[in-house]
């Protein structure tokens, strides 16, 4: 019954694509089409966020970080953040001091107030006026949900608490224990085959290198890696924090990754939708069309079953170059789908993801 998985990849009109389906005890199916191979390394972009979350929770269970203490204890720049209220008649930004401290839980749930300029016109305008050297929030922590650079600040907190470079913490706490040997930050030879949608609908290659800013941008989007590697990460989550007798997280920490945290922060709070202001990078995104989205400490949580077969309470997220993952504990199934083109949310990418995931659950039976 796995023929549908290969057919979903072969039918995708993209230069290269790789997909993989796994359970906690092993890989069920893997394949590739076009210029990609199963071992191709991709720019994972925001799929990095879940890995950063796990590294942070390793330090939480060690007592070196705390979810609900002010994160300014570990990151000086977050000790006294400012909130961007708007702009005056002369076009100058109006800033005020934040009314509440930011916690690690706020950062991990994207309720700390930080955004991405390509998703927020106010922040885009501000960044063009004066690129901030200190964090500027869009609202007080805990009052709204806004997808953004929150996980990059998590990386700084992790590095500070561990007393190591962030990439070293991730390598020691996640990558090496799980045997993710082809995953990491800024491989010297990485010039990835990334494409961009053109005005005529075609896809053209663009010169792309992964972010190499070792001071800031690793936590949210810095990883490159392969589908088999990322599957090992997801299998660890399906296994309650353990893979092949190696334990990375305690079960109670894994539970936080599969539980919507937003109601505990503010009743009625949901994730999304995301409406971009730079459509060449990303199109408008409704996380789960037709239903509100939850958010755990690592990604989106669907509150009801999806038409593809994914059970309620599953964890999922994506990367801006159209890379996707999901982990479904109820049905013991995880999937990775790696494409490498912009913009995110392209209809071809979403249709391919739907076909691939549907085929994965059909194969499961």
- SS in 3 state form for 13-28? CCCEEEEEEEECCEEE
**Is 236 strand, coil or helix?**
helix
CA distances from 29 to 100, 102, 199, 310, 322 (A): 48, 42, 35, 17, 20
> Does any domain span residue 134?
no
Domain membership of residue 82 (yes or no) is: no
Average pLDDT over residues 232-238: 98
Nearest to 220 by CA among 298, 286, 136: 298
Asked whether the predicted pLDDT for residue 211 surpasses 70, the reply is no
**CATH at residue 312:** 3.40.710.10
Total tally of structural domains belonging to the chain: 1
Is beta strand 82-87 parallel, antiparallel or unpaired with respect to 136-137? parallel
Is the CB of residue 271 less than 8 Å from the CB of residue 250? no
Q: What domain range is 7 assigned to?
A: 3-64+164-364
For residue 49, indicate whether it is catalytic.
Answer: yes
pLDDT at position 210 is 57
Choosing from 49, 226, 324, 342, the catalytic residue is 49
| Burial class, 281, CB count within 10 angstroms (exposed 0-12 / middle 13-18 / buried 19+) | middle
pLDDT tens for each residue of 184-196: 986 555 556 788 8
Dihedral sign from CA coordinates of 278, 282, 283, 287: negative
Q: Is residue 103 part of a domain?
A: no
Q: Where are the alpha helices (DSSP H) in the chain?
A: 3-10, 48-61, 104-108, 121-129, 150-162, 166-170, 176-178, 218-221, 227-238, 251-257, 262-265, 347-364
Please report which confidence band the pLDDT of residue 215 belongs to, taking 50, 70 and 90 as the band edges. very low
* Residue 131: inside a domain: no
pTM for the predicted model, two decimal places: 0.95
Catalytic residue, candidates 40, 46, 53, 316: 46
Q: How far is CA 265 from CA 145, 151, 260, in A?
A: 10, 17, 10
Q: Is residue 95 part of a domain?
A: no
145 within domain boundaries:
no
For 273-329, what is each residue's pLDDT tens digit?
A: 888 888 888 998 899 999 999 999 999 999 999 999 999 999 999 999 999 999 999
CA distance 353 to 244: 28
pLDDT score at 45:
93
pLDDT tens for each residue of 76-97: 999 999 999 999 888 888 999 9
Across 176-187, average pLDDT? 89
pLDDT of residue 336: 98
In a domain, 111, yes or no: no
Tell me if 123 is assigned to some domain. no
Catalytic residue among 40, 48, 116, 147: 147
Asked about 147 being catalytic, the answer comes back as: yes
Note if 324 is an active site residue. Answer: no
């Amino acid at each position: 019954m796995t023929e549908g998985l290969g057919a979903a990849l072969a039918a995708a009109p993209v230069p290269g694509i790789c997909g993989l389906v796994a359970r906690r005890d092993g890989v069920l199916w893997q394949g590739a089409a076009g210029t990609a191979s199963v071992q191709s390394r991709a720019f994972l972009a925001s799929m990095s966020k879940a890995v950063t979350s796990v590294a942070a929770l390793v330090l939480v269970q060690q007592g070196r970080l705390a979810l609900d203490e002010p994160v300014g204890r570990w990151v000086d720049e977050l000790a006294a953040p400012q909130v961007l209220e708007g702009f005056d008649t002369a076009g100058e930004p109006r800033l005020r001091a934040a009314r509440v401290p930011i916690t690690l839980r706020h950062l991990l749930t994207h309720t700390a107030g930080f955004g991405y300029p390509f998703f927020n016109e106010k922040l885009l305008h501000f960044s063009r006026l004066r690129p901030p050297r200190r964090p500027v929030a869009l609202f007080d922590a805990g009052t709204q949900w806004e997808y953004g650079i929150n996980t990059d600040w998590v990386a700084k907190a992790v590095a500070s608490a561990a007393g190591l470079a962030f990439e070293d913490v991730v390598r020691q706490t996640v990558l090496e224990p799980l045997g993710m040997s082809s995953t990491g930050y800024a491989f010297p030879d990485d010039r990835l085959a990334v494409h961009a949608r053109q005005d005529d609908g075609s896809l053209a290659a663009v010169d792309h290198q992964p972010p190499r800013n070792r001071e800031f941008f690793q936590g949210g989007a810095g990883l490159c890696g392969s589908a088999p590697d990322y599957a090992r990460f997801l299998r660890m989550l399906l296994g309650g924090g353990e893979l092949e007798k190696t334990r990375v997280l305690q079960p109670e920490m894994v539970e936080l990754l599969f539980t919507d945290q937003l109601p505990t922060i503010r009743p009625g709070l949901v994730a999304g939708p995301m409406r971009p202001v730079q459509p060449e990078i990303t199109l408008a995104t409704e996380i789960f069309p037709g239903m509100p989205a939850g958010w755990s400490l690592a990604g989106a949580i669907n509150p009801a079953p999806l038409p593809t077969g994914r059970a309620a309470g599953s964890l999922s997220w994506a990367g801006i170059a159209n890379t996707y993952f999901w982990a479904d504990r109820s049905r013991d199934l995880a999937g990775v789908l790696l494409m490498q083109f912009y913009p995110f949310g392209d209809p071809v990418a979403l249709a391919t993801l739907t076909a691939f995931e549907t085929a994965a659950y059909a194969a499961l039976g």
